[in-house]
Structure 1
Amino acid sequence: MEESLPTDPFHATGDDVTRHVGYLLKRAQAALRGAMDKVLRGQGLTVPQYSTLELLALHPGMSNADLARATFVTRQSGNVVLRGLQEAGLIVRPDTADHGRARPARLTEEGRARLATVQAAVYAVEQRMVGAIPPQRVTDLLADLDRIAAALEE
């Protein structure tokens, strides 16, 4: 006799919300954030500050609005992050905008050095996380997570 699949595979465990996909994604995200907070705190950075440094290393000149979107914070919070990084000497922004309101940010040499210092610790956290998954499944997991995000952004 063939075993039939549950009619609702997303809630196959019944009413146990702790086994739902959304709950498990949030649990993984919270664990990652906590582990990153722990290693960054020793370097005097927050996760949004670190993420901003990473993004500016890849895309110099990003605006506050673009950085806020990419680091999952509000524009107001993004501005606080940028001010803090600027006061710490890790980024520079012009005093005024050339056009519109955007003031493109760039890493300073000190910002590049601080980023290089913390990257190894953050990448070790990510490696610990990914190390829990069989290597042959990582590529599929990344694609699945990307598809999940895209489906919800529609």
Structure 2
Amino acid sequence: MSKEGAGVDLDKSLGYLLKEASTALRVAMEEVLRPLGMTVTHYSCLELLAQRPGMSNSELARGAFVTRQSMNVLLQALERDGYVARPAEAAVGKVLPAQLTPRGRQSLEEASAAVRAVEVRMLAGMTENEQESAFRALRSMIHSLRGPA
């Protein structure tokens, strides 16, 4: 098939390759999290709360790359199932800051080990220097895209 008139060569499109890598990572993470009764978003929420207790629904949604509505539904389920606790009433405004429960922490420990194994597998073909270079390059791309246009 001729590439004449074609747009971007996907094999040479960094954006496409990043999306493909992101999708492959998400699929691999879902595979190891599913037996633990979790999704990637569920895991991300628990991980964010472990690192920054008391985050609001909006902050969690941004951190997990989902809508506020989706995060609200997830938080309600996590609270119902005993993974997180939120106050019955907001101390200020409408914010109900979430905290991990002991069950949430235990579940996160198992999930973190499974996700770390996926990351180790993803980086297995790279030397330590190549891994450091990849981290630097990705951080630089993020910084460039978030900076002034």
Q: What residue in structure 1 maps to residue 102 of structure 2?
A: 109
Structure 1 residue ranges, 4+ long, deviating more than 4 angstroms after superposition: none
Whole-Å Cα distance in 2 between the matches of residues 94 and 63 of structure 1?
12
Q: What residue in structure 1 maps to residue 14 of structure 2?
A: 21
State the shift of 1:19 in Å. 2.5
Q: Over residues 32-78 of structure 1, what are the superposed CA-to-partner deviations in whole Å (9 max), with x where a residue is unaligned?
A: 00000111111111101101111111111111111111111111111
State the shift of 1:129 in Å. 0.6
Whole-Å Cα distance in 1 between the matches of residues 142 and 72 of structure 2?
25
Provide the aligned length of Structure 1 versus Structure 2: 141
State the shift of 1:15 in Å. 4.3
Q: 1:150 to 1:97 in 2, by over 3 A?
A: same
Structure 2-normalised TM-score?
Answer: 0.89
- Structure 2 residues not aligned, in runs of 5+: 1-6
The share of aligned pairs that are identical, in percent, is 47
Whole-Å Cα distance in 2 between the matches of residues 74 and 64 of structure 1?
10
Q: What residue in structure 1 maps to residue 52 of structure 2?
A: 59
Q: What is the SS of the residue equivalent to 1:101?
A: coil
Whole-Å Cα distance in 2 between the matches of residues 51 and 118 of structure 1?
10
2:131 to 122, 134, 138: 138
Tell whether the 8 Å contact from 2:85 to 2:101 is kept in structure 1 after alignment: yes
Q: What amino acid is aligned across from residue 117 of structure 2 in structure 1? A: A
Q: How does 1:2-151 map to 2 (within 5 A)?
A: 15-151=8-144
Tell whether the 8 Å contact from 2:10 to 2:17 is kept in structure 1 after alignment: no
- Structure 1 residues not aligned, in runs of 5+: 1-13
